[in-house]
Amino acid sequence: MSFTTALSGLNAAANNLAVTGNNIANANTTGFKKSRSEFADVYANSVGGVSSIQPGSGVKVAEVAQQFSQGNMEPTGNSLDMGISGDGFFTLAKNPTDLNSRIYSRAGAFEVDKSGLVVNPQGEALLAYTPNGPTVADGFSTGALTTISLNIGAGLPVSTTKVDIGVNLDSTKPAIAAPFVQSDSNTYTAQTSVSIYDSLGASHTLTTYFVAGPLTVPRVWTAYHYITDVTPPVWIDNPPALPVPVTMKFDSTGKLDPSTGTGSVTYQPTLPAGLIKADMNYAGSTQLSSAFSVNALNQNGLAAGKLTGISIDNNGVIFANFSNGASKPLGKVALTRFANPQGLAKLGDTTWAQSASSGVPIPGDAGGGNFGSIQSGALEQSNVDLTAQLVNLITAQQSYQANAKTIATENTIIDTILNIR
């Protein structure tokens, strides 16, 4: 009977309207992926198969398939917001205490909960690969997932082990004939200072005194090192008992002989701080006919610092940033992809779960292999095209009306048959 055929058409059109309406309703949902109704025709089976003159029995909904095309990235300015540009899903723990309760999402609106964990608005924890050490160069363990916690305390101090100083020494300065005496400015040509740090994060002022040698080629300068924030200033050239300054030799073009300009210093701060032992390097220094200047000044020590925020790079590495200028990797965002993402089980809240149809989870890194990159401070918007959905809404409405008309026509025919006298 045409009633059942038209009724199947009504159901299919209603499904199409519902799917389209859901797409429109979620046009502003972060990370939402639109769906489409996919239909298949229906034929009644018979012993001899489907006859060439047999009409169809209607239509059925074959699948409501989600479309995982890329959504637009919208900047938010919030460093915890992340968007994936390309393939992959964020890996989440539905229960933060059970890291195996994994679900997956494209919605990257994250925040910090009361316990300091990075979670989504539903309280599901973001999972990341565990760092192997204190620097990115140490790598990450892709076999060990962890939650990201911002309860990490202060940034630990770092004792200075290297000081790089690039200077220009005025070639017109006369040689100093008198023996060097730190307290007598007539016994040195120029000076510069830099702050260095001990193992407890205390700052100490390291001052270098440059003494010009005779006007020969190569010309030799000497550099003496003192800690000058104590009274009296402390000589710290290595070894302390034998004052051996750093020698710097310059050729006729003012270039530093690379075999010179290096040395080391040691200093024992007030206990219980550990011994400072730092390599001194004056590479890049020159001797030109211009005023003394400091062109480069770097040291690798750090004072203790407080957490000032976090940042995330395009590879998904999450850094804790401290007020002392240090940064520490907390983890690397774990991405997951599937051979058939359309087979994922829909959980709501813009999350999915593995199913038999999706295939097994394939873990990976942002920007590596077939995985997309991560954009921090931005969110992936819904991939719904409202214009296309409105057109589809009109088409689905027409289909619904046409099937309803089929039922009305069939009803008229039956009334005509039954009322024949």
Who's near 174: CB < 8 A, 6+ residues apart? 212, 215
In this prediction, residue 50 carries a pLDDT of: 61
Q: Give 367-378 pLDDT, tens digit per residue.
A: 887 899 999 999
In one-letter notation, the amino acid at residue 381 is Q
Candidates 151, 153, 150, 104; CA nearest to 127 is: 104
Least confident of 164-168, 176-180, 206-210, 237-241: 237-241
154 — pLDDT class (breaks 50, 70, 90): low
Distances 312 to 128, 202, 298, 367, 374 between C-alpha atoms, Å: 12, 30, 26, 13, 8
Overall average pLDDT of the 149-157 stretch: 78
Strands 89-95 and 335-337, bridge-based pairing:
antiparallel
List pLDDT tens digits, range 226-245. Answer: 999 988 888 876 555 555 78
- Identify any residues that bridge with 162 across adjacent strands, giving them in sequence order: 279
- Mean pLDDT is highest, among 278-287, 359-368, 398-407, for 278-287
Confidence label for 88 from pLDDT (cuts 50, 70 and 90): very high
Please write the tens of the pLDDT for every residue from 233-292.
Answer: 888 765 555 557 899 999 999 999 999 999 999 999 988 999 999 999 999 999 999 999
Which are the contacts of 18, defined by CB distance < 8 A and separation ≥ 6? none
Average per-residue pLDDT for the chain? 89
Where does CATH 2.60.98.20 sit in the chain? 162-299
pLDDT in tens, 119-139: 999 999 999 999 998 888 889
Determine the average pLDDT of the residues in 312-330: 88
Provide mean pLDDT across the span 190-202.
94
Residue 411, phi-psi category: left (phi > 0), alpha (psi -120 to 50), beta (remainder)? alpha
Which residue has better confidence, 164 or 4? 164
For residues 37 and 62, what is the distance between their CA atoms, to the nearest angstrom?
Answer: 8
Please name the fold of domain 162-299.
Tick-borne Encephalitis virus Glycoprotein; domain 1 (2.60.98)
Cα separation values, 280 from 57, 113, 161, 181, 314, Å: 88, 46, 9, 21, 35
Of 103-117, 158-172, 223-237, give the lowest mean pLDDT range. 223-237
pLDDT tier for residue 52 given thresholds of 50, 70 and 90 = low
Q: Taking 90 as the threshold, does the pLDDT of residue 379 lie above it? A: yes
Question: How distant, in Å, are the alpha carbons of 2, 222, 369, 407, 414 from that of 69?
Answer: 39, 66, 18, 38, 48
pLDDT of residue 206: 95
pLDDT on residue 153: 67
Three-class SS of the chain = CHHHHHHHHHHHHHHHHHHHHHHHHCCCCCCCCCEEEEEEEECCCCCCCCCCCCCCCEEEEEEEEECCCCCCEEECCCCCCEEEECCCEEEEEEECCEEEEEEEECCCCCEECCCCEEECCCCCEEEEEEECCCCHHHCEEEEEEEECECCCCCECCECCCEEEEEEEEECCCCCCCCCCCCCCHHHCCEEEEEEEECCCCCEEEEEEEEEECCCCCCEEEEEEEEECCCCCCEECECCCCCCCCEEEEECCCCEECCCCCEEEEEECCCCCCCCEEEEEECCCCEEECCCCEEEEEEECCECCECEEEEEECCCCEEEEEECCCCEEEEEEECEEECCCHHHCEEEECCEEECCCCCCCCEEECCCCCCCCEEEECEEECCCCCHHHHHHHHHHHHHHHHHHHHHHHHHHHHHHHHHCCC
Average pLDDT over residues 31-51: 79
